Structure 1
């Protein structure tokens, strides 16, 4: 019952609104507005229904309106000239002050110029060509999105699935061509290339479309971006399904020109789109939108009774909101001063020259641009002369419908949920950020984007003979005439192709050079890929920065870096002063300094502790100091702090001694591993000559390091290197050979005895294969190279072509000598220094503290009575007197100064009050003394006990 009443209400609503309009205010000013639509198209029909509902809804809500829009709808019949003619007619006959439409971008360009001439705003809700945003069309307002708004979303999808090549398919109109420049630029930012652009005319026949699709099938790229009207797209996809391009392995991306109207497509067309993904403008859901959709569906069936029912699209919502924007602007501006001024014309002037200029146009335009409200299609804001919507829905066509797989926003990129708040970069996201996609052929496997056609041409692999035949050597088969290639680089490439997840047919093509060993010729060799003469070039090609400007390199398949080959030292054990070589000069000096410093610290510590063993002449003290630095004499060292210093020092000596012994042993027994030069800067300082392979870029590197050109010598073969190194720099040869590590390993495999490798001294990227920029094979080949280099295959190939490096003890890289430096023992030096210095500071603090404490406790005898110290029974010994009276302390001090006191003893004080005699009793009577004093300062008697 409730549904029936709602239906009756919707049926009666147009009648009520019509009655309301008939009883409208008679004093309302009329604003004439022209509407240019293609009424034969589905978009035109949708817009006509939405516009009529918008007029009814606006004036039903704003019953106290002061202006009234009067619409003059004209059919352009898909013809640009007719559309312009209709606009001129409206301007001349009705003095329209605004034009809504037209639908096509090609129509909008000329009509916008008419709007400029007559100062009449032109508001289009379907013209999406980015070129219409030009500043030369100030009266054109786009109540829709520019096509350029969706290119970042498309690029994010391409990046998420890792596609490196994309073919664009678009219609040959202003609408179709307008997006291509923006799309190509943004795809390049995500490392994707557009090798081909397929342009299809609107008038193309089925045969022409089929022929173009077969051309696309012959290409290796299987990812296509389609930008065209849904009418032409329907024909293209029906034919694409017929020729087999909607099968497994293909990927199709649709722009919003098709997906915004996808629910209005014929079911047979929708079925041919199965597996495609598309970009669609996102419209937030609301109750008002649901109510309007129900009303619109009923009105559309009434307006188009013979048409197949269509569903409301975003274009219908934008046309509805456009009417509200113009009506609100008219209410704000009013028409009290509206006038039209005729230009001064001659008798033979054309109708274009006689167009009147609206005085109300500029103010009406500003009111439209400043009007902001929440419409059915979302926020309606034309302040930038076009809508600004940054949210797109990504859909997947499945069966006879579509499903949502994710969203894209300018802030967060692609995501499964719209409310994702994590900030991201311009093209963030991956395939995991979207729901699973059912691809063409009902496949759930992501298309690779690159396929080798079975009937296509073979991959042209460029090869040339290297200066090192072990890496690559080419020739012709005398019987078949086919190109043959062999060598380490060739075997690695063939093993790599075997590990690709698909078959890759290829053929070798020889590249001839004047000098195969020249790096300049290798630059030309690589450049052939850029010229599309070769699809890929292989060999001992160094990955260099200047070459990356026109080709892409795979991951390196060899070791990286530039190193030196130098002769090894021989008969080092014949050196008389070899015992000094284990420690560097800085190490010897540092050890001596700490040796002296530790002795001085121990001497000071024992001096502050009143150690009698350190007293004497300066030579004796120096001898004791040296003695302390080496040995821990129990009878000499008495203080605890001194023992701590000596323990740390002995640990240092033990480590240093063991290291010295090991280093000296190595020098005496392993002399063949010692290079004559360990640093390239040593060659610079000594002015030695260095060699390199002729034509190699290493020569420029040596000049950059500072070598004089006269000291740089070029050689052609490994035998030349061997002769030059054998002669030495002083005899017309070289002191070191600077070369790339792979070549050095090959040289040492053949000339192992007497040479070794030092370095690398300079970073280099190693050898790789070069492909054209954006070639999708790059990623697959690089992954396969990792598979080869990470297994036993690479070891076997190196043994086959380079030799077994384990048989040569000098083959390993050496970066320095076995001399011990100060830096090797920096930690021990710091530990020793901290221990000695800390102990010394603690001893000084204790010494000065005791000295100050004793001075503050010493009594003043001038102010005391003469017998105050003898008459008091309860008198106690003075502080700092070592347990006796003041007289006893003074007597003991006198004997110490004369060298008579041999042992200090603690005495017990016995006082006799009647005789005023003080007797000092020793704690040990068998080895002590008794000292008797009479009076306060009388001569004492000393009795020694046996």
Structure 2
């Protein structure tokens, strides 16, 4: 059906046979023609008449029909596409399902893109035509009000084009979105931004509910992927060419060159035509289209497509099939019939969604009884306006439930509105080339950016860090990925902040009295300018002195903070990369060495005096060695004393001297005990290590000139309460306070001469004992004052010097790569030689960590080993001694028992010789076991020998010591 945009068409009821179904079409188009008052009056009367006729027709549909309102902008490409698809859906539906009991009766209305007219059409459909469902409206702003009307009347409102996230079914449950929410595509866009390494993007959106709705979600997604929006460009849908041009000029003055376009096709057409005219479709720019434009890109005017050449786009992915190809061919033919005066158009996803929506509604309607399909009027509502006369559908809840549970495979793929909107996990990435578009890849929620899918969309080819997409033709017909940002040639120069340094070798700032221009020289300036040479693009810049702002004496924190405030576009110089500064600025990679160390005086300690032999070992090592000498000697003496070593005889002092001698010369003396030999082996090894180290260190002291630092440890300064110095304005003061230094012991100096003067006085004479400074400064100091000073440390870790840029500046990555290239090559060496000199020429330049004397801690492991060995041997010997004494006591007790028996036998024999009556002995009732005859014989012989020599009394006393019985026998013997 061709719609004349000039005339007003009256409602027309026509019967078109499609299979066994009858479809009634009532179409009304308002041309908004401004005519005279008489013409307007005639139109009003005609409208009233036709509304009455339409109401009568609606009542004649009967219980087997379902009135459906369709609200489209029939002047737009999307509206025309959807209208053709809806007509084809009705034809195909009832030719396939002729047995359906409920037939759809469509009432099409043209909103002409006007929100009020769309609302008016919805009221008319609900009040006069008893529409039980509304398809559309087309725009998100139109759908907001219509969805509230449908919610009030309990009539399902199904839109396949309203994608704004501000329109939520949570508030209006009778609103169904037969399309995708705009939020579904933000992760795809953000992944694409990250894949190409762009850090900043500018969204260009239509200043409507549709355009504004996606921006908060897009910002969150970009932030999650590491990108940001430095600016948001909103363009009114009613903006003329001059207003669009003005906004594009504003974008050209900014650095960001990546744009995300989210607007209707009409506004986007004006935008791209102007962008091409201004030269913004060139190789430095990147454009990304959201699905609102990408879905219909193939149907746009060829001149507009030509202006979009090189842009990327994301759109809903529709699986290919033979059925879809056949339908597309039929659709193209039908569209030409319906719109003969329009240029050829391609079937878009909106046409497929509108087609599937009709099928979903018809299938659901056939499951709901239409016997009582009426509207109940709300009696308690006052009819102050037309909204008060709206009734409540009796079948609306059942129809809504049937639609939500209806799932089928449609022309667009799986059609499921269970969550009140379509769900999709696959987007297609396209590239606008020439007068069409080509596919370059896909994005899925599960796998991210991928190159291709199989027919079912399940198998993927994963990408590496860079997107392995099909070849992309970028704006300007180039294949190199745009950098994404550029210093505007027609904008301001890069304002580079510089400040006077305490070391002119690093930074020296001067002002030309004639031109008033700021010039800067030094190590940092040479590095900065060398970096600019390494960049693949030109960066116009100018130096701005820090003292211009009246803060010449400000700290480096204040200097870096000027970048955060926007006073500088970058800050260069001897700026240390610190954690607190990264909260308001981004830094490049460091271009100098890192760390904080000490500058201390050195003394020529020749150590050639009388007691030089004591110097190799520290006091604690000397005393420790002596203590272990004595301990080892005592252990050896005890072990050898136990086995009666012949060497250990004589007085106590003689034996002690020999024992100590053992500890010194154990390897030369004879030791008999196996435990002593084990102790000696371990001790000889310890002596070997200590003597070798002592000999080597003593040789070094006697032969090499010793330039020793006066201080070797920062904690030694802290413990003694010494004064220390630092460079004025440096963060080192905070570091010293954090280490525990008293503020009164920290002194600030500005020049190297101040440092030398303070170090020469010393801490006790009003000076300082050490200067705490950063390593790059110390190198410069030692280059000029090589004699008499040295570096000790580093005592603290830092990141070195770097250049500061605003947060998320795209220049940081490029500068960092250039700095890395410089520091790895010969350029940085030449710059150091120019400003610092040859560092190897200074004999004092180096790191001295500690004294040359050997301390006890260095040999603590050896002393532990020898101590364990000696103590273990001593404990083993003690256990052996206790075990041996235990067996000796047992043997002594057995010997006493034998002696008692032998003594009785000996007395018996003597009494027989003296003619003593044997009955007396028998009365004693004492006997001697026969088993001990041999032993007793020996004892008796021994007793006889003693008796013959006149020692009977002594023998009797010896026997008396074995028991009272023996003593009694002695007394009896004497009395006899």
1:230 to 242, 246, 265: 265
1:39 to 66, 74, 79: 74
Q: What is the CA–CA distance in structure 2 between the aligned matches of 1:351 and 1:671, rounded to whole Å?
A: 108
1:365 to 393, 400, 420: 400
Measure how far apart 1:516 and its partner are: 6.5
Q: What is the CA–CA distance in structure 1 between the aligned matches of 2:294 and 2:159, rounded to whole Å?
A: 19
Q: Which residue of 2 aligns with 1:154?
A: 189
- Is the partner of 2:567 in helix, strand or coil? coil
1:455-534, aligned counterparts within 5 Å? 455-512=490-547, 518-520=553-555, 522-534=556-568
- Is the partner of 1:132 in helix, strand or coil? coil
2:754 to 720, 731, 751: 720
Measure how far apart 1:278 and its partner are: 1.5
1:408-447, aligned counterparts within 5 Å? 408-418=443-453, 430-447=465-482
CA contact (8 A) 2:21 2:103 kept: no
Measure how far apart 1:814 and its partner are: 2.9
Q: Which residue of 1 aligns with 2:969?
A: none
2:790 to 756, 772, 786: 756
Are residues 1:705 and 2:739 paired?
yes
Structure 1 range deviating more: 237-246 or 595-604 = 595-604
Are residues 1:132 and 2:132 paired?
no
1:798-817, aligned counterparts within 5 Å? 798-817=832-851
Aligned pairs, number: 847
- Is the partner of 2:386 in helix, strand or coil? coil
CA contact (8 A) 2:585 2:805 kept: yes
1:775 to 797, 806, 809: 809
Q: Which residue of 2 aligns with 1:545?
A: 579
- Is the partner of 1:431 in helix, strand or coil? coil
CA contact (8 A) 2:18 2:95 kept: no
CA RMSD, aligned part only?
4.4
CA contact (8 A) 2:89 2:355 kept: yes
Measure how far apart 1:431 and its partner are: 2.5
Q: What is the CA–CA distance in structure 2 between the aligned matches of 1:846 and 1:375, rounded to whole Å?
A: 98
Q: Which residue of 2 aligns with 1:893?
A: none
1:826-865, aligned counterparts within 5 Å? none
Give CA-to-partner distance per residue, 1:505-529, whole Å, 9 cap, x none.
2222233268867453x33333332
Q: Which residue of 1 aligns with 2:852?
A: 818
Change (3 A) 1:515 1:636: farther
Q: Which residue of 2 aligns with 1:110?
A: 145
Q: What is the CA–CA distance in structure 2 between the aligned matches of 1:481 and 1:594, rounded to whole Å?
A: 78
1:686-697, aligned counterparts within 5 Å? 686-697=720-731
Q: Which residue of 1 aligns with 2:110?
A: 75
Measure how far apart 1:107 and its partner are: 0.9
1:313-352, aligned counterparts within 5 Å? 313-335=348-370, 338-344=373-379, 349-352=384-387
Give CA-to-partner distance per residue, 1:345-398, whole Å, 9 cap, x none.
677610012221234434443443444444433333334332232221222223
Q: What is the CA–CA distance in structure 2 between the aligned matches of 1:599 and 1:284, rounded to whole Å?
A: 94
Q: What is the CA–CA distance in structure 2 between the aligned matches of 1:734 and 1:769, rounded to whole Å?
A: 32
1:587-598, aligned counterparts within 5 Å? 587=621
Q: What is the CA–CA distance in structure 1 between the aligned matches of 2:89 and 2:873, rounded to whole Å?
A: 95
Change (3 A) 1:725 1:92: same
Q: What is the CA–CA distance in structure 2 between the aligned matches of 1:837 and 1:231, rounded to whole Å?
A: 97
Q: Which residue of 2 aligns with 1:220?
A: 255
Q: Which residue of 1 aligns with 2:311?
A: 276
Q: What is the CA–CA distance in structure 2 between the aligned matches of 1:839 and 1:158, rounded to whole Å?
A: 75
1:567 to 571, 596, 601: 601
Measure how far apart 1:420 and its partner are: 8.3
CA contact (8 A) 2:135 2:159 kept: yes
Change (3 A) 1:842 1:794: farther
Are residues 1:790 and 2:824 paired?
yes
- Is the partner of 1:280 in helix, strand or coil? strand
Q: What is the CA–CA distance in structure 1 between the aligned matches of 2:627 and 2:100, rounded to whole Å?
A: 102
Q: What is the CA–CA distance in structure 1 between the aligned matches of 2:868 and 2:92, rounded to whole Å?
A: 90
Are residues 1:535 and 2:569 paired?
yes
Measure how far apart 1:626 and its partner are: 5.7
Structure 1 range deviating more: 429-438 or 827-836 = 827-836
CA contact (8 A) 1:461 1:537 kept: yes
Question: What is the TM-score when the length of structure 2 is the normalising length?
Answer: 0.76
Q: What is the CA–CA distance in structure 1 between the aligned matches of 2:100 and 2:647, rounded to whole Å?
A: 116
Point out where structure 1 has 5 or more consecutive residues left out of the alignment.
Answer: 1-14, 853-859, 863-889, 891-946
Change (3 A) 1:700 1:307: same
Are residues 1:51 and 2:86 paired?
yes
- Is the partner of 1:352 in helix, strand or coil? helix
Point out where structure 2 has 5 or more consecutive residues left out of the alignment.
Answer: 1-14, 24-60, 887-893, 898-934, 936-976
Higher radius of gyration, 1 or 2 = 2
Measure how far apart 1:752 and its partner are: 3.1
Q: What is the CA–CA distance in structure 2 between the aligned matches of 1:285 and 1:591, rounded to whole Å?
A: 89
Measure how far apart 1:200 and its partner are: 3.2
Q: Which residue of 2 aligns with 1:20?
A: 20
CA contact (8 A) 2:608 2:702 kept: no
Q: Which residue of 2 aligns with 1:202?
A: 237
Q: What is the CA–CA distance in structure 1 between the aligned matches of 2:865 and 2:338, rounded to whole Å?
A: 96
Q: Which residue of 1 aligns with 2:486?
A: 451
Are residues 1:181 and 2:216 paired?
yes
Measure how far apart 1:88 and its partner are: 0.7
Are residues 1:676 and 2:710 paired?
yes
Change (3 A) 1:302 1:656: farther
CA contact (8 A) 1:405 1:435 kept: yes
Change (3 A) 1:574 1:297: same
Measure how far apart 1:798 and its partner are: 2.9
Measure how far apart 1:802 and its partner are: 3.3
2:275 to 237, 240, 256: 240
Change (3 A) 1:648 1:334: farther
- Is the partner of 2:432 in helix, strand or coil? strand
Are residues 1:385 and 2:420 paired?
yes
CA contact (8 A) 1:160 1:429 kept: no
Change (3 A) 1:505 1:738: same
CA contact (8 A) 1:254 1:276 kept: yes
Change (3 A) 1:635 1:774: closer
Are residues 1:93 and 2:120 paired?
no
Q: Which residue of 2 aligns with 1:737?
A: 771
Q: What is the CA–CA distance in structure 1 between the aligned matches of 2:667 and 2:719, rounded to whole Å?
A: 49
Q: Which residue of 2 aligns with 1:30?
A: 65
Change (3 A) 1:805 1:55: same
Question: What is the TM-score when the length of structure 1 is the normalising length?
Answer: 0.79
1:256 to 291, 295, 318: 291
Structure 1 range deviating more: 541-550 or 208-217 = 208-217
Structure 1 range deviating more: 47-56 or 147-156 = 47-56
- Is the partner of 2:71 in helix, strand or coil? strand
- Is the partner of 2:441 in helix, strand or coil? strand
